[in-house]
Amino acid sequence: MTDPLIQRVLDLAEENLLVRDCSAELDAAIDDVERAGAARGDRGLEAFALSRRGLALHGEFLRDRARGEPPEEMPYFERALAIRRETGDEHDVAESLFHVGLVYQVVRDDNETARPYFEESLGRAPDPLTQSYALRHIAFCDDAAGDAETAERRHEDALELRRRVGWKAGIAAQLAAVAEMRARRGDRERAAELAREAREILVGLGAERALAMFGPELDELEHG
């Protein structure tokens, strides 16, 4: 059973990403986890709180990239990774490796440095959801390196993993990635179908923030 404090953070983080700005509530929930970790001497909770502070900053970056890299994002992720390497939980290490790679790739546009982090994350991840994250971003590395065929295959594999676990928001994001690959190789009809499916999922989730962020891309895939 997931610790209720952790579940509260996970629920608020998804709501903050998809539906509405609840960043103040999310920060307070992370504070609760941090205090509990200190009181219990639980380094796993400490690392979880650090990782979630980093992800909250990453979400702010995605919504307003013009502000540049949040200066605390990478330090949070690196501290979480160091703790998790010490405690040795493979899932948590894999997650933190992915987070560090995310900063290099998405924030710093450095796919070459990011790739080993994603590959180690994939190799360590014991669960399909974490594997899907790593595969998705290795696919972005492949694409940046000019290997669109491998990128598309990996995006499709990541989509299958997300369908397997039933993570609707992640399925929508991955549908958009596969649709973009299909559109680039000229399969506009299939790209439009995938984009429509992604939009339907987000609408069904009430994901107004996500639709505001990704709606123009979906529009282009559906009608471009």
Give the pLDDT confidence of 89-143 residue by residue, as tens digits: 999 999 999 999 999 999 999 999 999 999 999 999 999 999 999 999 999 999 9
Same domain, 16 and 83: yes
pLDDT at residue 189, as a whole number? 95
Same domain, 105 and 49: yes
**Which residues of the chain carry a pLDDT beneath 50?**
none
- What is the spatial distance between Cα 159 and Cα 8, in angstroms, rounded to a whole number? 26
Indicate whether 140 belongs to any domain.
no
Same domain, 164 and 217: yes
Host domain of residue 98: 1-126
pLDDT at residue 176, as a whole number? 97
pLDDT at residue 2, as a whole number? 82
Domain boundary residue among 126, 160, 191?
A: 126
Indicate whether 184 belongs to any domain.
yes
Same domain, 63 and 111: yes
Same domain, 158 and 198: yes
Same domain, 90 and 178: no
**Furthest-apart CA pair in the chain: how many Å?**
57
pLDDT at residue 1, as a whole number? 65
Indicate whether 135 belongs to any domain.
no
- What is the spatial distance between Cα 82 and Cα 199, in angstroms, rounded to a whole number? 38
Where do we find the tokens 């596969």?
178
Domain boundary residue among 126, 160, 176?
A: 126
Same domain, 91 and 40: yes
Between helix 168-184 and helix 188-204 the angle, nearest 10°, is 160
Same domain, 4 and 115: yes
Angstrom CA distances, 32 to 7, 69, 135, stand at 12, 26, 32
Same domain, 83 and 157: no
Indicate whether 137 belongs to any domain.
no
